[in-house]
Structure 1
Amino acid sequence: MFTHLIPDAAPPAAQADASVRFQRLLATALANGSFVKLLLSKYVGEEAQLERLMVREVLLRGERQLSLLWRYQTRDITKNLPLAEGLDLLATLMGAQFHSAHLQTQGEEVQLVFSRKGRPSLRMGRATPAAVPVVAEAGHDKEKQRYLELGRPFWLDLGLSHLVRGEAQLVPAMSRKWKQINKFIEIFAAALKNSGLAESADVHVADFGSGKGYLTFAMHDWLHSQGKQAHVTGVELREDMVRLCNEAAQRHAMAGLRFDHGDVRSYTPLRLDVMIALHACDIATDHAIHFGLRTGARVIMCSPCCHKQIRPQMQMPAQLRPLLQHGIHLGQEAEMVTDGLRALLLEAEGYDTQVFEFVALEHTSKNKMILAVKRSQPLSAARRAELQAQIAEIKRFYGLREQCLETLLAA
């Protein structure tokens, strides 16, 4: 069910904001990989028999593009455009030629409707579960939807694939993980492009808490397929996992891929472009983010869990006491405050930051990702002061004495 956010009777500035906000939601959905489809309808232009415009994402020759299908009464016309060009075109069409835009993402549905006088209103609601795939697919068929090749021999070593009549096939129980790995690479590829690293001849990556190495191998393989000299290191505390992954990397002569025994607090690379730490417990995420900042990483990707530091400190504001008296709500609030502060601190350090729910790598029901990409231009002193004031106000509101990442940065 949709919630009506900005009515037709709203002031002109709010009406304009409805259209702008819809365009931002569309761009964000494409950036974080949650985009499913877009439908433009209620055509008011001059082309005879044109009924609607349907938009989906495809992968063509390794490049993400928008596939636009103009549906007429008697024929269809399809055109594929790069993401930026496609978004610009859609912005000119909404309101001018189509009076309804319906965006579907993996978590919500957003509808932008224009009245006869051209006044926009925005409605939002949760997506129907049956209509949303686990992973938004991109491409013309299932083979083209994958960033990785299942036939690579190291997947056999890691137990993701097995041989059936001499041919590598996905282990049925690993099908969900295979989709998740490809989803991660999709986000990873977009982050590299936004950071400028897509133009670099070589890329240095550290994956902390690499475990069995699924993502570590995947990143190395994908970077290599893009013609780059990949230097990817998995850092893991469990020695048996380090040994297993190193043996597989050496067996298949994967130059530039290695696994070290250690953790984020003791590891010191010579160069780091991308810092990854998934499922880092509690303040281990803060140490990982701080490590990425200290080493000047241009991309930081974290998936935090076990938000323990903030919760015992939180003093329930009087306005929220009726809500936060329930333990589950207090836990959710602590999680939101913790990751919200981390995002603000990253922005204050000169990063464009997004926080979004990512497909769970360990089959958990909830998995949040913090994605930070270093800006090409330094942050202004005024914006930095504004962010620091916001952080201080949040801490005051909840009565927080300390947040680990802020303490590490101050030191």
Structure 2
Amino acid sequence: MSETTQSLPPAAADDLAEFLGLVDSGVSQDSLVKLVLAKHVGSEAELQRVIIKPLLIKAQPSLSFVYRYKTRDITKNLPLAEALARVAELVPESFKNAHLLTLTDEVQLEFSKKNKTTLFRNKAQREREVPTAGHDREKKRYLELSRPFLTDLGVTNKQHELIPAMSRKWKQINKFIEVFSHALTSSPLKLDQPIRVADFGSGKGYLTFAIHDYLRNTLQAEGCVTGVELREDMVTLCNNAAARLDHPGLTFQHGDVRTVAPTELDVMIALHACDIATDYAIHMGVRSGAAIIMCSPCCHKQIRLQIQSPGLLKPMLQYGLHMGQQAEMVTDSLRALLLEACGYETKVFEFISLEHTNKNKMILAVKRTEPVAPAQLLARIQELKAFYGITEQCLENLLQADGLLG
């Protein structure tokens, strides 16, 4: 037992013992899905988190530890007894947050700077078959079909059965919550404090209701969620549903990212905001101090009209499709680099389309706990702009006007 663990307050020691017991049970009952250790406070400056999953090595149950650094991953496979001992050594001495996922439980243990603990536990029957220790697990579902809002919004029938025509939407909702869940685990946000969310372009409210339900009912956190939508009929429909379904802390407003701008925000969501509307959304998220920014860009007209491609690329770019793909790649790369310069860890990846189109890219930015020196990143941005002859980029202008780029 480490010196840190021995010095824990009695209540914290009890929470840690309960959590480690749940990990042990998950392993022994073959129900462990994943254990993520985050909020690193150890001596390795580049280490960000450890992801632990079960596997078989020569027919022997083991645990795989993926040590995720800023620029690389290192995997270590350990026998069960040694692996469980290693988890006990890492929490809370090296990691202040542990997120356990099993077939029947979702549990988060978080330590404050003074080693006071918060333990959240949600028991739920997951929608998956009993897995093996190989790679054949059915995909995890982050929401249950029994949730009332799904029936009200037409995803399920009155018997809480999935309506076949809504199967794709159901997958999209779960994928979105999965991305959000992972981002929340690695963010500086604490579940014992209200989490303020704004969803711009909320539409019929599928994702807005889902994230509120996930915060309130799965994580038992206080979610204060606002959906913002230009269509007044959708705002009325969603507000009526929120009142009817007893969703405290969930409201919908008429407007867009330029007219509804909260001064403080924890999570900013803007999916399929057209052209520079995505830039305004990202800027608003940064300006409002959002710890998590989730954007799914749509259209890239501003950059496409400016790009002056090198002569060597002209044979490739004579095709309109390739021109559009180039504009998309350059635009979203600039956005990601600008977010990095503002102190976010940023990822760009393919995401299941939310409107049944091929616009399925997501920019996910999570606020770093340690500040970054933006000079090198800003230099790369200028080099990229110069290479393509770009003179103006909306997000960069907005951030510079507010003095947010250092």
> CA 1:293–1:315 in structure 2 vs 1: closer, same or farther (change >3 Å)?
same
Worse-matched range after superposition: 144-153 or 342-351 = 144-153
Unaligned runs of 5+ in 2: 1-30, 39-49, 79-126, 132-136, 402-406
Deviation string 1:4-34 (CA, Å, 9 cap, x unpaired) is xxxxxxxxxxxxxxxxxxxxxxxxxxxxxxx
Deviation string 1:256-287 (CA, Å, 9 cap, x unpaired) is 01111111001132431000000000000000
Deviation string 1:63-101 (CA, Å, 9 cap, x unpaired) is 9964433253xxx3334567659x9873478xxxxxxxx
- CA distance in structure 2 between the partners assigned to 1:80 and 1:138 by the alignment: 21
Aligned to 2:384: 394
CA contact (8 A) 1:58 1:139 kept: no
CA contact (8 A) 2:63 2:77 kept: no
Aligned to 2:248: 255
User: How far did residue 294 of structure 1 move?
Assistant: 0.7
Aligned to 1:58: 33
> CA 1:309–1:57 in structure 2 vs 1: closer, same or farther (change >3 Å)?
farther
CA contact (8 A) 1:275 1:292 kept: yes
Aligned to 1:203: 195
Q: What TM-score does the superposition give when structure 1 sets the normalisation length?
A: 0.68
Given candidates 206, 224, 227, the residue that maps to 1:231 is 224
- Mapped pair 1:68 → 2:62: no
- CA distance in structure 2 between the partners assigned to 1:353 and 1:177 by the alignment: 26
Aligned to 2:60: 77
Aligned to 1:373: 366
Aligned to 2:354: 361
AA of the residue aligned to 2:186: N
Deviation string 1:125-166 (CA, Å, 9 cap, x unpaired) is xxxxxxxxxxxx988468982111111111111111112xxx
CA contact (8 A) 1:59 1:144 kept: no
Aligned to 1:327: 320
- CA distance in structure 1 between the partners assigned to 2:370 and 2:250 by the alignment: 32
- CA distance in structure 1 between the partners assigned to 2:143 and 2:211 by the alignment: 9
- CA distance in structure 2 between the partners assigned to 1:298 and 1:363 by the alignment: 28
> CA 1:208–1:390 in structure 2 vs 1: closer, same or farther (change >3 Å)?
same
> CA 1:179–1:140 in structure 2 vs 1: closer, same or farther (change >3 Å)?
farther
CA contact (8 A) 1:65 1:80 kept: no
Aligned to 2:151: 156
Deviation string 1:318-340 (CA, Å, 9 cap, x unpaired) is 22122112211111100000000
- CA distance in structure 2 between the partners assigned to 1:255 and 1:390 by the alignment: 45
CA contact (8 A) 1:162 1:168 kept: yes
Aligned to 1:11: none
Unaligned runs of 5+ in 1: 1-55, 94-136
User: How far did residue 198 of structure 1 move?
Assistant: 4.4
Aligned to 1:90: 75
Aligned to 2:342: 349
1:117-136 matches, within 5 Å, as none
- Mapped pair 1:147 → 2:147: no
- Mapped pair 1:189 → 2:164: no
Aligned to 2:290: 297
The alignment covers a number of residue pairs equal to: 302
- CA distance in structure 1 between the partners assigned to 2:140 and 2:386 by the alignment: 47
Across the aligned residues of Structure 1 and Structure 2, the Cα RMSD in angstroms comes to 2.8
CA contact (8 A) 2:62 2:77 kept: no
- CA distance in structure 2 between the partners assigned to 1:367 and 1:315 by the alignment: 26
- CA distance in structure 1 between the partners assigned to 2:263 and 2:399 by the alignment: 21
Given candidates 160, 166, 184, the residue that maps to 1:174 is 166
CA contact (8 A) 1:316 1:398 kept: yes
> CA 1:139–1:397 in structure 2 vs 1: closer, same or farther (change >3 Å)?
farther
1:23-38 matches, within 5 Å, as none
AA of the residue aligned to 1:184: F
CA contact (8 A) 2:66 2:75 kept: no
CA contact (8 A) 2:202 2:208 kept: yes
